[in-house]
């Protein structure tokens, strides 16, 4: 079709104009009259296997993982039927998060959701399940995922009141994440101290200082003072209730 510009609106017959205006007004009125959409509280389905999802992603597994992450996040966040986290099937949540990490191993979002969203539910069993999930995932890429396990260690110590579990996570960071921050790699020493295992804490702290891994002057000073206090008093703080 040749396009030689447009003719004036006056060339449009009045019935056509009237029909357009009336139909448009009716359409908008109809849509405005409709109730707002409400979501249904359906059970969260099991995720497809990572291999199947990778095939479905048409070569864009990261984009698909990001979309599915938003889907999972929005699942319990529906207007009208907001589902409390404690009502969700946490085994299935863990399966979804694991699948998302399989599709996009560099992503931090699923681990953030595990620790900061699903891990915040006031239910000890579910908190432990999320921490266990993070612990499992940590070993697949310790240098990139240590901060989430560190969060779980703190959660285990202060919220779950399970210093042994906190120690297990802290030791995993020390052993596995060579590039983790010093505070995270030293965390197990202070947990040991809290547990009353002063001798072990003293040995580990002395070893850390002797290894030369800590180079910052103020940090060396702080740790040295701490070591002296441990050696002198035998115990610097009362053990945490286990």
Residue 59's Cβ-count burial label (10 Å; 0-12, 13-18, 19+) is exposed
Position 36 contacts other proteins (CB under 8 A)? yes
Location of structure tokens 């042994």: 164
Of the candidates 159, 158, 157, the one whose C-alpha atom is nearest the C-alpha of residue 171 is 157
51 binds other proteins (CB under 8 A): no
What mask, x for binding other proteins by CB under 8 A, covers residues 4 to 23?
xxxxxx-xxx--xx-xx--x
Does position 43 interact with other proteins (CB under 8 A)? The reply is: no
**82 contributes a contact to other proteins by CB under 8 A:** yes
Task: Report the candidate in 215, 129, 152, 204 with the shortest Cα–Cα distance to residue 174.
Answer: 204
Selected binder of other proteins within 48, 70, 86, 171 (CB under 8 A): 70
Binding status of residue 39 toward other proteins by CB under 8 A: yes
- 41-49, 75-83, 132-140, 228-236 -> range binding other proteins (CB under 8 A): 75-83
Interface pick for other proteins out of 14, 58, 59, 79 (rule CB under 8 A): 79
Closest CA to 41 of 83, 96, 74: 83
Give the distance, in angstroms, between the CA of residue 134 and the centroid of all CA atoms in the same chain. Answer: 9
Q: How far is CA 46 from CA 49, 95, 96, 98, in A?
A: 9, 7, 7, 12
- Residues lying near other proteins in the complex (CB under 8 A): 1-9, 11-13, 16-17, 19-20, 23-24, 26-28, 30-32, 36-37, 39, 70, 73-74, 77-79, 82
């Amino acid at each position: 079709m040749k396009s030689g510009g447009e003719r004036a609106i006056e060339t449009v017959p009045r019935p056509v104009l009237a029909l357009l205006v009336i139909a448009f007004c009716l359409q908008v009125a109809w849509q405005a009259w409709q109730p707002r959409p409400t979501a249904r509280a359906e059970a969260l389905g099991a995720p497809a296997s990572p291999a199947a999802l990778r095939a479905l992603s048409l070569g864009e597994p990261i984009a698909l993982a990001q979309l599915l992450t938003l889907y999972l996040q929005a699942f319990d966040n529906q207007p009208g039927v907001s589902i409390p986290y404690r009502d969700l099937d946490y085994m299935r949540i863990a399966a979804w998060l694991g699948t998302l990490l399989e599709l996009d191993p560099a992503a931090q979002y699923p681990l953030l959701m595990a620790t900061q969203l699903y891990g915040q539910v006031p239910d000890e069993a579910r908190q432990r399940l999320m921490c266990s999930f993070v612990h499992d995932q940590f070993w697949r890429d310790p240098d990139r995922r240590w901060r989430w396990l560190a969060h779980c260690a703190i959660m285990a110590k202060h919220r779950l009141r399970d210093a042994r579990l906190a120690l297990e996570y802290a030791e995993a960071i020390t052993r596995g994440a060579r590039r983790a921050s010093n505070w995270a790699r030293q965390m197990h020493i202070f947990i040991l101290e809290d547990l009353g295992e002063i001798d072990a804490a003293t040995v580990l702290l002395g070893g850390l200082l002797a290894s030369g891994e800590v180079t910052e002057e103020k940090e060396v000073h702080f740790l040295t003072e701490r070591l002296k206090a441990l050696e002198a008093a035998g115990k610097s703080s009362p053990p945490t209730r286990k």
